[in-house]
Structure 1
C-alpha cells in the first residue's frame, strides 16, 4: 500500500461500542479457564483456552514475549502533603535495562510525573523499610526527553540494594488505567505471565496471561515448539489514537531483544508460526525490516537498526523473509553477539504485509487503538464479525479478559 494512502486511514472506521461491564476488572481464578474464540477465516467458534493445544497443528512454533512487568509507580510525599507520582518508563542512564537495574548507588530513568505542577524541581525523599533498617531514596529532575518525558535521577544511601530490588519493595505494579481500580497484592501474580523472565515492562503482554505451567508442558508433549523474544511494553500501548487519521499519531518506541537461537528457529522452521500477542507480533515483524537494512548496508549498527513507524510503507523493494533472517544471523556472527538488541516503533495497520506469523493469539482490544488496527491488518474487515461475535457471546474484554486464536 502507498504510504500516503496508508497515512490517511480514518481511525473512526475502527470503532465499536464497548460497554464498561464487558471490561474484565479482575482475571478468572484459573488462567486457562477463559474463553477462546477461534477464527479460521471460514467460521468463528468458541472453545476454552485450556483446549488450545488441541487446536494447534503439530509442529507449530509459538512465539512468546518473556518480558516481566516492573513496579514502575513510585509515590513521593512532599512536606506540604502533596503526593507526586514518578512513573518509570525506560532507562535513561545506563540505557541498558539489565545494567540499570543492577546499579547500587544511582541511575536515571525517563518518567511520567503525576501531579507534575506541584513538583517544582526540589529533591524528593522516600524512606524505604527493608529487612536491615531503612534505605533513603532521593529523586531529582535531570532534564526532559524529546518526547517530553521527564528525566529523573535516582540515588540511594545503601549499596547493598540494587535499583531493581528497591523498585520491587517500594514501587507499585502499574495495572491498566481502564480497570479504574488501584493495584492489589494478587495483581503481582496474575498480571505476570508464567514465563516472564526479563524485567522492563510497564504493562503485561496480556495474551500470555492465559497460559499455565501445565499447558506449557502439554504443548511440549504434543510437539508444539516454543521460542522467546523480549519486548518491554511501554505506557504508549494504552495511548488512544486521538487524531482523525493515523498520519498524525506517533507510535511509541519500545525496546526489543531477540536471541540468536530464536532467529535460527524461525529460519529453519517449516510449520505454522503463531505469535502470542501483539507484542510478539511486532517484535518478529520488526526482524524483517532490520534484516532488510542489513541487506542494503551490512555495516549499519546500533540505533541505525531501530525500526521506524512508517518503514513498511516507504515503497522500498522487498526481500525474502528468510533472507532478512540470514542477514541478521550474519550480523550477529560478525559482531560476536548472541542476541539482537534494538528498538521498534513499527505501526501495523491495514495494508501491511505480514512476513512470519500464520496466526496470532490475542485478547480483545480497545476501540480506536493501534492494537485493533493491527488485528484489522491481520484479518481484514472480518474484525467486525469477530468483535460482534465476542460481544454477543459474553466474552470479557481487554487485559484480564478472554482470548482469541486468529488464523490468517
Structure 2
C-alpha cells in the first residue's frame, strides 16, 4: 500500500491555530463506518450517539512542559531541547536544535542555572540522551522553566496552558496532548455517565513521533515510534465487563485505540499491564477490542489517517476528509472532531 493512497488536499487556513470555547462546541462529523454516511453535528451532541452500557475509554496522560530553552555553558549559544522520553530519574531522550551544538560531553544551563544537563550519547533517530543536575523537585523546576511543546503547525502562542490538556489529564509524561479528548468538559462527561455509559481510563504517554512523517513509499516498511502505556486492573475490568455484555467499546483518540489493541487478546479482552507499544494500524488490520472511535482530523499521509482508514475504510475516510475540507471543518490538534460509529 502506497503512502500516496492517503493524500488529500488541505488548505493551510483550515489548520486550527487556537482552541474553540467552550470545548464541547467544536464541530462533530459522525461517520458510519459500514455505509460511509456522514452527519454534521456539534461535539456535545455525542451524547445522542452513545448508548447505555457502552464504554468510553479515555487517555488520562498529561502533557509536561517539555520544551526547554537554554544556553551552552562555555559559549552562551542558544539551544532548544524537547524532552521525548524519560529513561530514569535524571536521564531523558531529547530532540536538540541546533543539534550540531550538542556534542557528547557538552554542558547546557537553563534558567539562572537551577537546571543543568550534560549530553551523554546520540540516538539512532538523531536525538540526544542527556542527564540533568538540579536541586529540589525536577517536576517543579520543569513547570517553572518549560514551555508547552505545541505541534509545529500551530504558529500562534497558547495563552492558557490548560487548553492543551484534557480536563481529566492526571498522569504526567506526554510530549503532546491526546487531542481527541480536548473536546470533553466535566459537565459533558457527567451527562454521559448519567446516561449509563461506562467510563474507563488508561495512560499512554504521547511522543513527538506522532508528528513524524512517513518517509517510505510502501507504508508496510514504516517503523513506528514506541510509547509507554499502562492499564490497571480496575479499568481493564470495566472494559471487559462491557465487552462481555456485548456493548460497544469506544476509544477516545488514536492513543487509546492503539493501547487497547496492544493490550487485548484475540477475543478483544484487555489484560491489566504496562509496557511499550509500537503498534502500527493500517488498512487490513483486524480490530480486536474497539468498536468505535472519537478522533480529530489528521495530516495527509500520516500514520493516524492510516489508522482511521483501517477502521472505516480508506474510501469512506477520504470522502469524509474531502467533505470536511469543503464544509470548512478545522483540522489537527485544536480542530474539530469525528466520531466513527
Which interval holds the TM-score relative to the shorter structure?
over 0.9
Offset, 1:321: 2.8
- Select the residue among 322, 329, 332 that pairs with 1:388: 322
2:85 match = 90
Are 1:152 and 2:124 counterparts? no
Does the aligned pair in 1 maintain the 2:329–2:335 contact within 8 Å?
yes
1:171 match = 146
2:332 match = 398
Offset, 1:320: 2.8
Are 1:233 and 2:174 counterparts? no
1:14 match = 6
Measured on the aligned residues, the alpha-carbon RMSD in Å equals 1.5
State how 1:267-278 maps to structure 2 within 5 Å. Answer: 267-269=240-242, 270=245, 271-278=247-254
- Residue 114 of structure 2 aligns to a residue whose secondary structure is strand
Q: Using the alignment, how far apart are the partners of 2:119 and 2:71 within structure 1?
A: 16
Unaligned runs of 5+ in 1: 1-8, 95-99, 101-106, 129-134, 292-318, 329-338
Q: Deviations over 1:347-379 (max 9, x none)?
A: 000000001111100000000000000010000
Q: Using the alignment, how far apart are the partners of 1:405 and 1:281 within structure 2?
A: 13
1:197 match = 170
Q: Using the alignment, how far apart are the partners of 2:320 and 2:28 within structure 1?
A: 12
1:114 match = 97
- Residue 178 of structure 1 aligns to a residue whose secondary structure is coil
Q: Deviations over 1:265-290 (max 9, x none)?
A: 222212111000000000000012xx
- Select the residue among 309, 322, 335 that pairs with 1:376: 309
Are 1:257 and 2:230 counterparts? yes
Q: Using the alignment, how far apart are the partners of 1:345 and 1:287 within structure 2?
A: 12
- Select the residue among 104, 111, 129 that pairs with 1:127: 111
Q: Using the alignment, how far apart are the partners of 1:265 and 1:119 within structure 2?
A: 47
- Residue 321 of structure 1 aligns to a residue whose secondary structure is coil
Q: Using the alignment, how far apart are the partners of 2:220 and 2:323 within structure 1?
A: 30
Offset, 1:172: 0.7
- Residue 375 of structure 1 aligns to a residue whose secondary structure is helix
Are 1:37 and 2:42 counterparts? no
- Residue 81 of structure 2 aligns to a residue whose secondary structure is strand
Offset, 1:146: 4.4
Q: Using the alignment, how far apart are the partners of 1:352 and 1:190 within structure 2?
A: 33
Q: Using the alignment, how far apart are the partners of 1:122 and 1:364 within structure 2?
A: 40
Q: Using the alignment, how far apart are the partners of 2:249 and 2:3 within structure 1?
A: 29
Offset, 1:127: 3.4
Q: Using the alignment, how far apart are the partners of 2:180 and 2:254 within structure 1?
A: 8
Q: Using the alignment, how far apart are the partners of 1:193 and 1:320 within structure 2?
A: 30
Rg larger in structure:
1
Offset, 1:60: 1.0
Unaligned runs of 5+ in 2: none
1:26 match = 18
Q: How many residues align?
A: 333
Q: Using the alignment, how far apart are the partners of 1:342 and 1:125 within structure 2?
A: 32
Q: Using the alignment, how far apart are the partners of 2:111 and 2:16 within structure 1?
A: 35
Q: Using the alignment, how far apart are the partners of 1:208 and 1:53 within structure 2?
A: 14
